[in-house]
Structure 1
Amino acid sequence: MDFGLLFIGLALLLVSYLVAVRKQTWLLAGFNEKNIKNKSLLGKITGRTFFLPLGLLVIIHSFIDYPYEAIVLVIAMLVLLIITYLIINRRLFD
């Protein structure tokens, strides 16, 4: 069991809760606030589409140990990030 991954996964779940439920969009860096129509929807999409699945995946990987674990996590993170960017670009930008 990898405690480092477990703590990272729990931190990602906390960020998911703060962004999706509590609408703390100030935690999200790198977006222009003037171009976003609905910040509440941005929080829901980012929290539920990116942070929640990534946090759960990291927690699951903290209990499982196999040779290419880091590569699988990076690929999963990039896929989730691309999906989130596509959803945000289609729904939220002017």
Structure 2
Amino acid sequence: MANLLPGYVAIEQVLVLEYARMGLISDDERRALGAAPPTVTADAVAPEPEENFSDIAFALERHVGAALPAPVTAWHVNRNRNDCRRPPR
């Protein structure tokens, strides 16, 4: 988990920048989402079938969402599992 976490955090950071660039989230929402990654640890996103379905991306989303001052309704508006996959070579 600890080895994968930096990559998943980087994916989230890029998605947040793209949502802001497309005008889907406000600058305040971008800043709030951008402030959360330093609080993410392997323990914070540990597999819990009842809470996060043992899915690191979903666990990360839930952890960050819980730390936000207000919900970001357009966050992950068009997300799918392919967002976290490396393209084929």
- The normalised TM-score by structure 2 is 0.44
As a proportion of its length, which structure holds more helix? 1
- The normalised TM-score by structure 1 is 0.42
